Structure 1
């Protein structure tokens, strides 16, 4: 079955998204003005790029630089399923101006095998399709862009290694005190006086998780306390600032291995 969906998420300017599954469909020769980055979820995509026929298999990343002519076709009998980002680099430059992060339009290889980057890009794409916290979307975006350009971009720069300890604790305390209001990464950047990239790196080094993962943990822990006091699932979800009921149920079960309603019934 062939299907496709294209959309723009209002969180980031200049980022178009595609989710598609193709079996027999073939793209004719074309190019993108944007940097095209995709993750192959299943099957394999065939690509005619820079004079060669390439096969990008499942769990690999495809990277097509702006203005590069290419095609797309099935690289496996059952076709391929993938998720694509189309990054407007002018918008990215304005997003990351005055940061410790180089944005360069040239990615060195059209095929990248990197499990960590694949997972981050996949999670980011899903977060821009389904209800997610702004902190989740911003954090995944920063992690993905930093990894992509630092390791696979043509303008590699020396990694910034300093750890922002005080800033990380300020960010942690701010999340604890304001978890129900869903603080954004931009807010954490301001209150901690530390760039998004430095803050995420430092926070993870010190606490073992990223700021958006910490926010989710604080939310579900507080949700558990409220459920223990007899609050309903709907009221608990609202009190803790979840995007919607499905978002609350999914994250509660991930943390505790049981749905909120079952936990409430067991307590009752």
Structure 2
């Protein structure tokens, strides 16, 4: 049976997920946050940057923001995972405090390192413990991620994806400001000083998905954040541009494997 528990921590930059997926499959999608997953049982298969990966118990999956991937269980019995969902800016500053202009990245998407796995597993458990002091939880992330940064991470300048006269970051800012509105292809293409046809072709070539799929994911990522902040599913649907509650619930469950109401339950 599929089940996912999304948990806030005392830091707005760190959220935790603990899940078991048996029948649910993730379609091609991306995250706005860093996702670091620990496979605690079973085996998962996913496609990422032209490669197919099989990961099992004791392995770590590092999925950087905006990178397309999918995922499903290899075994009929499913797989279990513990995931860190991390704010990218905060995570980069934690890794490279002396070079705040850099973003942290990693040399590989899958790690087969028992020491790192055990450190991250322990960190996940500690951050989920409501009885720990504030100071302990403030100090834990650097201690828990330090060896991961040291052995597998490095800093680099932020990558800018250009679309016509603008970048994808400018497009994101436009969408955040208008996310509750019916956004048109003509608006996005005009922003980039491209024709609608040029915009569609350039967008798909650079990002690997259609503008519609990209916008839908942005809306659902925003919806997840609002739900975790305590907003009701009905409020959130309208705030992110879904004017039909049933459509919103279906899209959300298709993307995350649970309904919006299960986030607050």
TM-score by length of 1: 0.52
Aligned position for 2:151: 151
Matched, 1:70 2:69: yes
Question: How has the CA–CA distance of structure 1 residues 94 and 61 changed in structure 2, closer, same or farther, with 3 Å as cutoff?
Answer: closer
Aligned position for 2:41: 42
Structure 2: distance between partners of 1:77 and 1:101 = 45
Question: How has the CA–CA distance of structure 1 residues 104 and 115 changed in structure 2, closer, same or farther, with 3 Å as cutoff?
Answer: farther
Aligned position for 1:121: 120
Q: Shift of residue 131 of structure 1? A: 2.7
Q: Shift of residue 74 of structure 1? A: 0.3
Structure 2: distance between partners of 1:143 and 1:111 = 21
Alignment of 1:1-268 (within 5 A): 1-10=1-10, 12-94=11-93, 98=97, 104-134=103-133, 135-155=135-155
Higher relative CO (Cα under 8 Å, sequence separation at least 6) belongs to 2
- Structure with the larger strand share: 2
Structure 2: distance between partners of 1:138 and 1:149 = 18
Question: Gaps (5+ residues) in structure 1?
Answer: 157-268
Question: How has the CA–CA distance of structure 1 residues 96 and 57 changed in structure 2, closer, same or farther, with 3 Å as cutoff?
Answer: closer
Aligned position for 1:246: none
Q: Shift of residue 95 of structure 1? A: 5.1
Contact kept, 8 Å, 2:95 with 2:146, in 1: the verdict is no
Instruction: Output one character per residue of 1:193-213: Cα deviation in whole Å (capped at 9) or x when no partner.
Output: xxxxxxxxxxxxxxxxxxxxx
Q: Shift of residue 92 of structure 1? A: 2.9
Q: Shift of residue 143 of structure 1? A: 2.3
Question: How has the CA–CA distance of structure 1 residues 118 and 102 changed in structure 2, closer, same or farther, with 3 Å as cutoff?
Answer: farther
Question: Gaps (5+ residues) in structure 2?
Answer: 157-265
Question: How has the CA–CA distance of structure 1 residues 37 and 103 changed in structure 2, closer, same or farther, with 3 Å as cutoff?
Answer: farther
Instruction: Output one character per residue of 1:16-61: Cα deviation in whole Å (capped at 9) or x when no partner.
Output: 2111001111001100111110111101111111122211110110
Aligned residues: 155
